[in-house]
Amino acid sequence: MKEERHDVVVVGAGPAGSITAKTAAEHGLDVLLIERNQEIGVPVKCAEGVSKEIEKFVALDKKWICAEVKGANIYGPDGTKVVMSGEKMNEVGYVLERRIFDKFLASEAARAGAEVRVKTEAYGIIEANGYAKGVYVRSIGEDTRISAPVVVGADGVESKVGRWAGINTRLLPSNVSVGAEFLMCDIELNKDYSEFFLGSEVAPKGYAWVFPKGGDCANVGLGIGGDVSGEKHRAIDYLKAFVRNKFPDGKTVAEMYGAVPLSGPLNETVADGLILVGDAARQVNALTGGGITYAMQAGKIAGDVIAKAVQEKDFSKKRLMEYESRWRSEFGKRLETGLKAKEFFFTLSDEDLNTLAHSLAGVKIEELSTGALLLELIRRNPKMLLGLAKMVL
């Protein structure tokens, strides 16, 4: 078996992994970023909507931005429309082209000095004295032992790296959103707004979306709770019904499928010699399913902390806990609020959702964020949302 040695090996070249690799490389570390697929950014498993907070991490490039939206329209089960728009866009601001965006982030990591390697799949972790010390990988039929004092698991919702290191990454079906999406063209849509559709008939324990992608094209998809998915009630079944109703003459030019963790963050995202970032750490807003900017923010923190650990030659869980403390301080509260809100809203009936939508009909919410929406709902429905208020306020 071939052997290699690096300062850090990052498993998974999505936004979390690439930003971690880039940041660590900028600190002068010998970084290897591996991706199991033959092409970074493919297959796409994402609705591709992202908040304007992305501007904190990368300079915008029209090559990977399909559309800039002014706000969001949210439709209750009976069709009542709630409009959210304003200067502060914390949930949706741009619709990306992930095939290009993910490659761009990986190329940025490479420019910073990281080695990027595709068609390379990790299949086990190297351990010594309870520490992660690298990974075993297979690439084009050849096995390699890659030693590194820090392993980063950025391998998405189905993450194995954390489990190999003894972290409980198990997800219950109720804590997973199963999604299906079509890229559709030749449809009539609101090109300036992302749109969301609620209701048990549309997407039980989830929602449907229409995200403009330029011209007469859009990502049309939905996610449903993993615990309500079953024969003839799969995400694809609901999506086909939604499309038949809303865009009967539209043309489907691509199909995408995936899953999003809605469990809230893991209790622990570090171990001796190991850090988890992004979906692998469950750093996703459980109410909206959004996680790209959280993944990038976590990657930046992880890269900084890893650089310090290498300099100090201390790769213990105690040392790496700085990463966990920092990400929880920076955005943990938002994820906690999203989880509590999701758990509350999943108990509501369609009639309840209609009542809430009616209370906001004609009201323009000037801040497009989960927090602003929840506060406005609680203000207008204090009795109905008393339980939610106690959880999030």
The C-alpha atoms of residue 120 and residue 31 are separated, in whole angstroms, by 15
Residues 378 and 303 in one domain: no
338 domain residue, yes or no: no
What domain range is 297 assigned to?
Answer: 2-45+98-170+263-333
Residues 38 and 137 in one domain: yes
Residues 119 and 37 in one domain: yes
Lowest mean pLDDT among 15-19, 100-104, 122-126, 337-341: 337-341
H or E element that contains 379: helix 370-380
The Cβ-side half-sphere exposure at 108, using a 13 Å CA radius, reads 23
Residue 95: pLDDT above 70?
A: yes
Q: Would you tell me how many other CB atoms lie within 10 Å of the CB of residue 327? A: 24
Place of tokens 């927090």: 371
* Total of domains in the chain: 3
H or E element that contains 242: helix 235-246
Residues 213 and 351 in one domain: no
Tokens of 287: 């109410």
Q: Are 217 and 184 in contact (CB under 8 A)?
A: yes
H or E element that contains 301: helix 292-312
H or E element that contains 299: helix 292-312
Give the pLDDT confidence of 281-292 residue by residue, as tens digits: 999 999 989 999
Domain boundary among 333, 352, 374: 333
Q: How far apart are the first and last CA of the chain?
A: 56
Residue 58: which CATH number?
3.30.9.10
Tokens of 49: 């909507």
Residues 356 and 371 in one domain: yes
Residue 88: pLDDT above 60?
A: no
Residues 30 and 111 in one domain: yes
Burial class (CB in 10 A: 0-12, 13-18, 19+), 190: middle
Residue 393: pLDDT above 70?
A: no
Confidence of residue 373 (pLDDT cuts 50, 70, 90): confident
Residue 108: pLDDT above 60?
A: yes
Residues 137 and 154 in one domain: yes
Apex 387 CA angle, 384 and 391, nearest 5: 140
Tokens of 83: 């409009």
The C-alpha atoms of residue 372 and residue 328 are separated, in whole angstroms, by 21
Tokens of 31: 């970084």
Beta strands (DSSP E) in 61-165 are 65-68, 71-75, 81-89, 94-96, 115-117, 121-128, 131-139, 142-147, 150-153
Residue 299: pLDDT above 60?
A: yes
Residues 14 and 159 in one domain: yes
Residues 148 and 68 in one domain: no
Give the pLDDT confidence of 11-35 residue by residue, as tens digits: 999 999 999 999 999 999 999 999 9
Closest by Cα among 250, 222, 218 to 235: 222
Residues 244 and 106 in one domain: no
Q: What are phi and psi of 381, to 5 degrees?
A: -135, 60
Residues 353 and 317 in one domain: no
Residue 39: which CATH number?
3.50.50.60
The amino acid occupying position 59 is A
274 domain residue, yes or no: yes
Domain boundary among 282, 312, 333: 333
Give the pLDDT confidence of 184-207 residue by residue, as tens digits: 999 999 999 999 999 999 999 999
162 domain residue, yes or no: yes
Residues 276 and 311 in one domain: yes
pLDDT of residue 300: 98
224 domain residue, yes or no: yes
76 domain residue, yes or no: yes
Q: What are phi and psi of 268, to 5 degrees?
A: -135, 130
The amino acid occupying position 308 is K
Q: Are 57 and 101 in contact (CB under 8 A)?
A: no
Q: Percent of the chain having pLDDT more than 90?
A: 79
Domain boundary among 237, 260, 283: 260
Confidence of residue 92 (pLDDT cuts 50, 70, 90): low
Give the CA-trace dihedral at 383, 387, 390, 393, to 10 degrees: -80
CB-based contacts of 371, cutoff 8 Å, min separation 6? 90, 334, 337
